[in-house]
Amino acid sequence: MLDVVEIQNILPHRYPFLLVDRVTEIEEGQSIKAYKNVSISEPVFQGHFPGHPIYPGVMIIEGMAQAGGVLAFKSSSKEAQEAAKDKVVYFMSIDKCKFRNPVRPGDRLEYELHVLKHRGNIWVLEGKAYVDGTLVAEAELKAMIVDK
């Protein structure tokens, strides 16, 4: 389990763009479970949408990708983990993306990612996002770890 301080030691993202609050399970090289608590105080709700706040789908996918980045870095060798501060994860592609249900303020957005393929610095992940056990989004993510 990783808390937000430990996540910030891995990812370069910061408020308002750090979209993972906690990692609840990690099986290095295989899978990760993490979550984000969606709050009405987030800046995105000022414009998406006034009077009918819906958490944007692109933010859900970005949160999945950030959880995948944690998985990739934690699955690396100790030397690579120490060099993480000089690395960043870039999207290469987002495929098979579907949004199933809206996410609203007050929801706990749970991310589950599984490694489909890993070769060198390239990772292909199957990601799913849930609220209260209901699938809200899914995508296949391809990412690369690169030097900053």
Domain hosting residue 15, numbered range = 4-147
Above 80 in pLDDT, residue 82?
A: no
Under DSSP, is residue 40 helix (H, G, I), strand (E, B) or coil? coil
When pLDDT is cut at 50, 70 and 90, the band that residue 79 belongs to is confident
* DSSP classification of residue 120: T
Query: What pLDDT, on the 0 to 100 scale, is given for residue 88?
Result: 85
Other C-beta atoms closer than 10 Å to the C-beta of 60 total 25
**145-to-23, 105, 121 alpha-carbon distances in Å:** 20, 32, 5
Residue 48 catalytic?
yes
The residue assigned the tokens 């980045």 is: 69
What is the Cα–Cα distance from 84 to 88, expressed in whole angstroms?
8
CATH code, domain carrying 10? 3.10.129.10
pTM for the whole structure: 0.94
* DSSP classification of residue 44: G
Q: How many domains does the chain have?
A: 1
Among the listed ranges 82-86, 97-101, 114-118, which one has the minimum average pLDDT value? 82-86
Active-site hit among 48, 52, 114, 118: 48
Query: What pLDDT, on the 0 to 100 scale, is given for residue 38?
Result: 98
Are the C-beta atoms of residues 112 and 131 closer than 8 Å to each other?
no
Query: What pLDDT, on the 0 to 100 scale, is given for residue 68?
Result: 96
String of b and e for 73-86 (b: at least 16 CB within 10 Å)? bbbbeeeeeeebee
